[in-house]
Amino acid sequence: MLRQELNKLQKLGLVKEKKLQKKRVFYLNSNFDFLKELENLILKSAISSKRDLIDNAKKIGNIKLLVLAGVFTGDDKSRADLLIVGDKINQRKLNVFLKDLEAEVGKELNSVIMKTKEFNYRYDMYDRFVRDLLTDKSEIVIKKLNLW
């Protein structure tokens, strides 16, 4: 049954096959025409819901800003996947939140956590890193700060 499914994927061009030491090895075809779209579809379906994400983020502390970028928005050039700005953040709850999110996404996330004071300072100083994360490619899901 597995072999039949692999053959179907191979006919579509998503999977390729190699023979190594009398074994057949299947691997993802990185030149597949719709690979990026498929990755985005899988990623969007992997995150249970934005409402759950927001609710879980609020449990880790007083969150003022939550920005999704990088892997969440399909922006390969983003320097981070997640920006969390807030105060009174519980480190243990933050670690659990990040591990659960990484499990849903299926990869390690580049996360940036800042206190509100630090973020405001960097934002006011036109810090390139902060400004780059707040592009039109990113998605702000919690916004309790006066940014623009």
Name residue 24's beta-bridge partners. 19
**pTM value?**
0.70
> Which pLDDT does position 138 carry in this prediction?
87
Q: Residue 112: its pLDDT value, please? A: 95
Task: Report pLDDT for 48.
Answer: 56
89: left (phi over 0), alpha (psi -120 to 50) or beta: beta
CA distances from 112 to 13, 25, 128 (A): 37, 38, 14
Asked if residue 70 belongs to a domain, the reply is yes
Q: What is the pLDDT of residue 43?
A: 64
pLDDT per residue of the chain (148 residues) written in tens, 0 to 9: 888 988 898 898 999 988 888 888 888 888 988 888 887 776 665 565 777 888 889 999 999 999 999 888 878 788 899 999 999 999 999 999 999 988 888 789 999 999 999 999 999 999 999 988 888 788 888 999 887 6
Q: Are residues 127 and 65 in the same domain?
A: yes
Q: Tell me if 41 is assigned to some domain.
A: no
Domain count, the chain: 2
Residues 19 and 65 in one domain: no
Assigned domain for 26 exists: yes
| Same-domain status, 17 and 79 | no
Handedness of CA 141, 112, 57, 38 (dihedral sign): positive
Domain range enclosing 24: 2-33
Residue 148 is assigned to a structural domain of this protein: no
pLDDT of 103 reads 86
Domain-located, residue 43? no
What span, in angstroms and rounded, lies between the C-alpha atoms of 66 and 113? Answer: 10
On whether both 86 and 124 belong to a single domain, the answer is: yes
Same domain, 28 and 61: no
